[in-house]
Amino acid sequence: MNFLITGGAGFVGVNLIEHLNNAGENRITVLDNETLGKREHLEGLSASFVHGDIRDRDLLDKVLPGHDAIIHLAADTRVMDSIVDPSFNFDVNVNGTFQLMEAARQAGIERFVAASTGGAIIGEAEPPVHEDMVPRPLSPYGASKLTMEGYLSAFAGAYGMKSVALRFSNIYGPRSFHKGSVVAAFMRRALKNKPLIVYGDGTQTRDYLYVGDLVKGIVQAVDAGVSGVYQLGSGQGTNLNDLIRRIEAVMNLTLGELPVQYEDFREGEILHTWCMVDKARDAFGFNPGTSLDEGLARTWAWFQEQK
């Protein structure tokens, strides 16, 4: 199959490309503006690289023809940044996605899988969250992803495009070069002997999904040709203080040995969220099999190699 992966030089993208390379004969084109991901991250992987932006319609019309499926990972993903600059977040996540979808429609590409989010769309709700909950975004980032999901639904209904929104939980794992998410941030600070920064009291809960399980789920969704919204997570909630204890364990440290600096809670962040994955399991066989402890051990080993 011929894939075009937007944002493919980032954390999820490079893991996805490695998975596709190992799976067999797939032709992969990466479109990335290198704001965060860099083309050198693709070293050793089989993929062609195009430097460009998803908002550049002329470029999209040149690059997209001939592909069978689009996996759309490019986005402005920082919740706090979206609060500071909602216009930029809207332009990238809503306008950029619309331009990409319209170019895909014109090119006759029928399969379109986009990275969405769970907690930021649902807002504060009693977990576990699921796809039938009423969305109540608390940040412009969450609102932008909800708007994207609306267009995916519209293109499926109006044009027959097999368009899928996959709501990622908190993804962690190897190759998280620049990730600002908590596991990568904690491990980078630990390597530099700096205190871990926790916003709040550490009791807030998240759903941590190993990137290897995520990329399998993405490919399963493409192969199944489904449409709609599906959550991809571990199905379990872990609070930050417990996560820190687990990281200490994989680092062979004693309990409380990692210094932690607690700061005030930040506006716009969800306190407690984890998700159900029954819908994705039933629709395309999604079944995350990597335990949190196993995934953290693999991630820590990778970070140690990089230093």
Place of tokens 């009423």: 134
Is residue 262 flagged as an active site residue?
Answer: no
Query: For residue 129, which phi and psi values (nearest 5 degrees)?
Result: -85, 155
Residue 88: inside a domain: yes
CA distances from 138 to 96, 125, 168, 233, 303 (A): 21, 11, 17, 20, 33
Q: In the predicted model, what is the mean pLDDT of residues 183-194?
A: 94
Whether 167 contacts 117, CB under 8 Å: yes
pTM confidence score:
0.95
Residue 307 has a pLDDT of 66
| CATH at 20 | 3.40.50.720
CA distances from 196 to 31, 259, 301 (A): 34, 6, 18
Domain count, the chain: 1
Give CA–CA dist 108/31, Å, rounded: 18
pLDDT in tens, 201-233: 999 999 999 999 999 999 999 999 999 999 999
Residue 237 has a pLDDT of 96
pLDDT band at 144 (very low <50, low <70, confident <90, very high): very high
Residue 138: inside a domain: yes
Strand partners, 3: 28, 69
Residue 113 has a pLDDT of 98
Give CA–CA dist 240/205, Å, rounded: 6
Residue 120: inside a domain: yes
pLDDT band at 114 (very low <50, low <70, confident <90, very high): very high
Give residue 224's domain range. 2-172+209-235+275-289
Residue 64: inside a domain: yes
Residue 60: inside a domain: yes
Q: Is the pLDDT of residue 257 over 90?
A: yes
Residue 73: inside a domain: yes
Q: Is the pLDDT of residue 133 over 90?
A: yes
Residue 261: inside a domain: no
pLDDT in tens, 49-82: 999 999 999 999 999 999 999 999 999 988 889 9
Give CA–CA dist 254/223, Å, rounded: 45
Residue 98: inside a domain: yes
Q: Is the pLDDT of residue 107 over 70?
A: yes
Give CA–CA dist 211/95, Å, rounded: 27
pLDDT in tens, 235-244: 999 999 999 9
Measured in residues, the chain has a length of: 307
